[in-house]
């Protein structure tokens, strides 16, 4: 341990340090306060290292030579914000940790147009008087429903599907009972658990059946004077296989009609199209549920619909009106940017241009095309220790459990480092690249990468090649 007292004197003062390039320019663009704070922190760190005796004389020289650069990095980190774009090469199409799904160009254009200035968010342009924010998106949803042969339904939008379920339970079942199958008491990541959300809403959970088998008679027997809802929860992120039984939705609807109790379905993903066209079974569309006679459906705007984070509640107008009147609606409502993005997305469906929605474009991309792009990458970076491999890209994000689509990836075989170290190097790029690790290789699955990013990816890989 060497504490060399005179080393401290070699450290510049804050004022001296601030004169070194490029700090004056940084102070002009990022503010003097931010740069001064960063300079102080950097000097303190160095002082602590000297005091701790962890620094060699050479180390001190290197640290002093790199001092202004270290301050610049610290400034960028502190005032650069933390939310940044990344490239999703993980092959998980709907990646909750990476912001679920990209928005379409139409959706983004609308967000920019409506947020750059003022908008008619709550203003009726006909009368010049106050309007209702929840009128937005509704007319588009109504038209989409009508096109599917469903009339007499309406919808509202809240912050996310968790909020939609919470609001519906609070508005329709507080103080009463909600009947749910034991096979549907799901947890959707972290704190969204059906029993907990039920307790918070003030409704009492009435469990029926068993984990693997629930019959329509189980629901019927549980109905009493306090029953407010029959709730069906989509098994979004798991499957029950083997000796199983679950009543058909139509049976629940028939029971509800007979006993005068609405059936609500927490659908989760909110697909608007039949997902079978992408080879994904078991993800009923929102309209399919309504067609079967469910009174109220809740769904996410950003799972299989391909829009912004939002919760859609669509169904019988009298029930939707109760949700709208509930005080929680004010707390869970969405802002103009969400309405703009959602309308932009719904319009693509109405124009039958759903391939312009990035999520659906990714799902629909032929595997051969993905393979061709992988080969082009390998060819562009000849020294790269990589090869093209067939993969399965998964739907992810709490939708379509166990479902995947054929895809291709560039498999990088790390040389002289671990796969984790290579993946970490990819994450440290100016636009971080998120890959997945399999069998000691780093896989870059191009199904989830926008073809427009292939050129950037080529540059990143060229930088890695020995």
Which residues sit at the interface with ligand PLP, rule CB under 6 A? 160-162, 165, 188, 192, 233-234, 236, 266, 268, 300, 303, 311, 398
Strands 441-445, 404-412: pairing is antiparallel
3-class secondary-structure state, position 426: helix
Minimum distance of ligand PLP from residue 164's CB (angstroms): 8
Q: Which is nearer to ligand PLP, 161 or 289 (CB)?
A: 161
Minimum distance of ligand PLP from residue 331's CB (angstroms): 15
Which residue is nearest to ligand PLP, using beta carbons?
268
**CA angle 83-88-89, nearest 5°?**
150
In the beta sheet, which residues pair with residue 229?
Answer: 178
For 49-78, give the DSSP string.
HHHHT---HHHHHHHHHTHHHHHHHHHHHH
Minimum distance of ligand PLP from residue 361's CB (angstroms): 21
Minimum distance of ligand PLP from residue 18's CB (angstroms): 46
**CA angle 207-213-218, nearest 5°?**
50
Minimum distance of ligand PLP from residue 216's CB (angstroms): 21
Q: Which is nearer to ligand PLP, 134 or 266 (CB)?
A: 266
Q: Which is nearer to ligand PLP, 268 or 344 (CB)?
A: 268
Helices (H), 175-311: 194-201, 216-222, 249-259, 286-291
For residues 154 and 316, what is the distance between their CA atoms, to the nearest angstrom?
Answer: 6
Give the single-character DSSP code of 123: E
Minimum distance of ligand PLP from residue 309's CB (angstroms): 7
Q: Which is nearer to ligand PLP, 263 or 449 (CB)?
A: 263
**CA angle 187-328-271, nearest 5°?**
50
Residues listed for the chain: 466
Q: Which is nearer to ligand PLP, 96 or 210 (CB)?
A: 96
Q: Which is nearer to ligand PLP, 263 or 388 (CB)?
A: 263
Minimum distance of ligand PLP from residue 82's CB (angstroms): 21
Q: Which is nearer to ligand PLP, 155 or 398 (CB)?
A: 398
Whether the bond into 43 is cis, omega within 30 of 0: no
Q: Which is nearer to ligand PLP, 11 or 332 (CB)?
A: 332
Contacts 24+ apart (CB under 8 A), 144-150: 144/272, 144/287, 144/346, 144/349, 144/350, 145/287, 145/290, 145/314, 147/350, 148/287, 148/290, 148/291, 149/291, 150/287, 150/290, 150/291
> What is the Cα 365 distance to its own chain's centre?
21
Minimum distance of ligand PLP from residue 167's CB (angstroms): 12
């Amino acid at each position: 341990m060497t504490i060399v007292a005179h080393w401290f004197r070699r450290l510049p003062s804050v004022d001296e340090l601030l004169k070194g390039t490029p700090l004056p320019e940084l102070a002009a663009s990022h503010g003097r306060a931010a740069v001064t704070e960063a300079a102080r922190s950097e000097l303190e760190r160095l002082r602590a290292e000297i005091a701790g005796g962890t620094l060699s004389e050479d180390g001190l020289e290197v640290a002093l030579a790199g001092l202004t650069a270290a301050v610049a990095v610290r400034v960028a980190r502190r005032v650069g914000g933390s939310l940044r774009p990344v490239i999703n090469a993980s092959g998980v199409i709907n990646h909750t940790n990476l912001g679920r799904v990209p928005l379409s160009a139409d959706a983004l254009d609308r967000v920019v147009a409506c947020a750059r200035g003022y908008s008619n968010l709550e203003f009726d342009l006909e009368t010049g008087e106050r309007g209702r924010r929840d009128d937005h998106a509704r007319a588009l949803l109504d038209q989409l429903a009508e096109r599917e042969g469903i009339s007499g339904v309406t919808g509202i939008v809240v912050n996310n599907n968790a909020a939609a379920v919470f609001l519906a339970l609070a508005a329709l079942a507080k103080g009463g009972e909600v009947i749910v199958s034991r096979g549907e008491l799901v947890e959707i990541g972290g704190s969204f658990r059906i029993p907990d959300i039920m307790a918070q809403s003030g409704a009492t959970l009435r469990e029926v059946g068993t984990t693997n088998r629930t019959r329509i008679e189980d629901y019927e027997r549980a109905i009493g004077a306090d029953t407010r809802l029959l709730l069906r929860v989509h098994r979004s992120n798991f499957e029950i296989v083997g000796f199983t039984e679950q009543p058909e939705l139509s049976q629940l609807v028939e029971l509800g009609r007979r006993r005068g109790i609405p059936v609500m379905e927490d659908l989760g993903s909110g697909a608007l199209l039949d997902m079978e066209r992408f080879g994904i079974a078991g993800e009923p569309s929102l309209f399919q549920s309504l067609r079967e006679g469910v009174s109220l459906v809740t769904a996410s705007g950003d799972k299989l619909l391909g829009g912004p984070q939002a919760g859609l509640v669509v169904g019988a107008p009298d029930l939707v009106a109760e949700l709208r009147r509930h005080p929680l609606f004010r707390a869970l409502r969405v802002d103009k940017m969400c309405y703009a993005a959602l309308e932009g997305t719904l319009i693509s469906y109405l124009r039958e241009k759903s391939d312009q929605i990035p999520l659906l474009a990714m799902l629909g991309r032929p595997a051969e095309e993905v393979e061709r792009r992988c080969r082009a990458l390998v060819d562009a970076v000849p020294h790269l220790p990589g090869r093209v491999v067939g993969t399965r890209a998964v739907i992810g994000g709490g939708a379509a459990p166990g479902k995947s689509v054929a895809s291709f990836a560039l498999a990088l075989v790390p040389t002289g480092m671990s796969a984790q170290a290579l993946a970490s190097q990819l994450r440290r790029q100016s636009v971080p690249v998120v890959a997945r690790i399999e069998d000691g290789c780093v896989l870059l699955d191009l199904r989830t990468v926008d073809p427009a990013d292939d050129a950037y990816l080529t540059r990143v890989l060229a930088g890695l090649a020995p």
